[in-house]
Structure formats: C-alpha cells, structure tokens
Structure 1
Amino acid sequence: MVSVPAVQKALVATEQALSGIDEELERHAAGHGRVSSAEQLVSIRDQLAQMALQLTSPRLPPRGQRLRGVGRVVGDSWPYGNVLGGLILEAEQLYLNA
C-alpha cells in the first residue's frame, strides 16, 4: 500500500530537484555552470519529471519497476557535497521508497 504522506514528501523533493536543475541549466546557458553538462542535466531532469508524473498518478508503479539511476550518475560523477546533487539523491530515494 502506498502511503500518501510518503508520496507527497517524494513529490515535494522531486519538484525541488527539478527547480534546482532548471537554475543550473540557466547558469549553463549563461556560461557559468557549476556542475555536470547541460546534456546530462536535461537527461536527469527528464527522468525526474517522469518520476513526478508517476507520483501524481493514481497508481504508482510497484517498487521494483520504478525509474532509477539518476542517483548513481550523481554519486559517481558529481562533487561530493554538491547541494543540487543532494536534492536529486533525496528525491530519488523518497520516490523509490514511497
């Protein structure tokens, strides 16, 4: 059974991560990106947007069938302690556990 508070918490975290990615994409467009590449950010953003859609749908996929992988990308290639990376990791974990 899916917990509504857990889903809501995951959705809020996902929306915060999406907002952070949008800000970083604006910095990249201005030539002042701090992390990753614009292409990678767009890819991560696309997956987070799909996660948000699933979180707002009446039926969240079973845990074994949920989207995953953005956390691994962030953990493997982004600087440790990056705030945006932390938002993305938190969003993915809350989504996977909702």
Structure 2
Amino acid sequence: MLEYDGLGRATAQVMAVSGVEQWRTTTTYDGERTTVDPPKGGVPTTTITDAVGNTSEIWHYRGDSPNPLLGYDVTKYTYTPQGRLEPVTDAQQNKWRYEYD
C-alpha cells in the first residue's frame, strides 16, 4: 500500500498481511532533499538535487534512522555543462568516470 502527500508524492510504502502492518518505508521531502527511512536492516538515505533536478549527493546514514548526528557517508555526483554525468565519487574517494560519444 502506498500513501501520498498533497502533491501526489509517495510518502510511505507499507507492507501489510491481513491488514496488519509488517514494515514501512517513509519518504520525506524538504526542498532539494528527499529522505528515505527504510525498515530495520535497510540503509536510510538523503538524496540532494541541484537546481535542475540532477542528483548531486546521496547521504548514506550509519545509524538506523536518517539522523546526520549519527554520521553518514556521501556519494557525490558531478555533471558536464551539457548535463551528462561526470565523475561519481564515494565516501572512500573511489571515482567512477563516464565517457560519451
């Protein structure tokens, strides 16, 4: 089952059996930030977008909840002036590069 906000965005995904909730993933929206809080065992994340809607960072929280005070690892995304994905850099400074024809 999905729940939505007034703008039609999904705010919760609920798994229920015989009407009894088993787990829930919640999504909150705050400007350029979208935070996903999964069930226990999942990794909470916050995705930050730039002015044109491209993902610029994803924060992977170290705790069970999306709380920056508990620490997080960041994956950073950069783009060419044409809007193509360039290097992606993870928290350990590993880089993925892309080439385009």
TM-score range for the pair, normalised by the shorter chain length: under 0.3
TM-score, normalising length: structure 1: 0.23
Higher-RCO chain (CA-CA 8 Å, sequence separation at least 6)? 1
Larger Rg: 2
More helix by share: 1
Q: Greater strand share, 1 or 2? A: 2
